[in-house]
Amino acid sequence: MSEAMSSVERVRRALNFELPDRVPIFDSFWAEFTAAWRAEKNPPEGADIRDYYGVDITIAVGDESLAPTRAETLEETDQYVIRRDGWGRVIRTIPGGYFYEQLEPGLQQPADLSHLHVDPPDLEVRYQSLDARIEQLKQRFCVFAKTGGPYIRTHFVRDEPEFLMDMAADPVFARELAMWMADHLTAIGLEELRRWDLYDNGLWIFDDMASNQGPMFSPRTAEQILAPAWSSMVQRFKAAGAQKVILHSDGNIGPLLDLFLDLGFDGINPVEPKAGLDAVALREKYGDRLVLIGGLCNAQVLPEGNPEKVRQHVKRVLSAGKDGGLIIGTHSIGPDISVATYDLVNETVRELGRYPMGWC
What was the pLDDT predicted at 99? 86
CA distance 323 to 325: 7
| Structural domain contains residue 95 | no
Dihedral of CA 59/62/67/70: which sign?
A: positive
| Structural domain contains residue 104 | no
Q: How far is CA 17 from CA 39, 288, 290, in A?
A: 38, 7, 10
| Structural domain contains residue 109 | no
Of the listed ranges 97-101, 102-106, 193-197, 218-222, the least confidently predicted one is 97-101
| Structural domain contains residue 221 | yes
Task: Band the pLDDT of 109: cuts 50, 70, 90.
Answer: confident
Q: Is 1's pLDDT higher than 70?
A: no
Domain count along the chain: 1
3-state helix, strand, coil in the chain (%, to 5): 45, 15, 35
**Helix or strand run (H / E) with residue 172:** helix 171-196
pLDDT (tens digit, 9 = 90+) per residue, 21-72?
999 999 999 999 999 999 999 999 999 999 999 999 999 999 999 999 999 9
What was the pLDDT predicted at 110? 83
Question: What's the DSSP call for residue 203?
Answer: E
Domain hosting 295: range is 7-65+119-352
Task: Band the pLDDT of 210: cuts 50, 70, 90.
Answer: very high
Q: Is 124's pLDDT higher than 90?
A: yes
Output the CA angle 284-287-293, nearest 5 degrees: 90
What was the pLDDT predicted at 98? 80
| Structural domain contains residue 79 | no
The 202-206 sheet, strands edge to edge: 57-60, 142-148, 202-206, 244-248, 267-269, 291-295, 326-329
> Average pLDDT over the chain, rounded to whole?
96
Q: Is 90's pLDDT higher than 70?
A: yes
CA distance 56 to 184: 29
Average pLDDT estimate for 328-340: 98
Average pLDDT estimate for 90-102: 90
pLDDT (tens digit, 9 = 90+) per residue, 239-252?
999 999 999 999 99
CB burial string 249-271: b at 16+ within 10 A, e below? bbbbbbebbebbeebebbbbbbb
What was the pLDDT predicted at 42? 97
350 closest CA partner among 18, 19, 54, 121: 54
Q: Is 2's pLDDT higher than 80?
A: no
| Structural domain contains residue 173 | yes
| DSSP helix/strand/coil, 103 | strand
Q: CATH number for the domain including 36?
A: 3.20.20.210
| Structural domain contains residue 176 | yes
Q: What pairing do the DSSP bridges indicate for beta strands 81-84 and 244-248? A: unpaired
Average pLDDT estimate for 141-160: 96
Of the listed ranges 97-101, 188-192, 281-285, 322-326, the least confidently predicted one is 97-101
How many residues can be counted in the chain?
A: 360
Task: Band the pLDDT of 171: cuts 50, 70, 90.
Answer: very high
User: pTM for the complete prediction?
Assistant: 0.96
CB atoms within 10 A of CB 172: 9
What was the pLDDT predicted at 4? 87
The answer to whether residues 340 and 36 touch, using CB atoms and an 8 Å cutoff, is: no
Task: Band the pLDDT of 316: cuts 50, 70, 90.
Answer: very high
| Structural domain contains residue 98 | no
What was the pLDDT predicted at 112? 81
Dihedral of CA 117/119/125/126: which sign?
A: positive
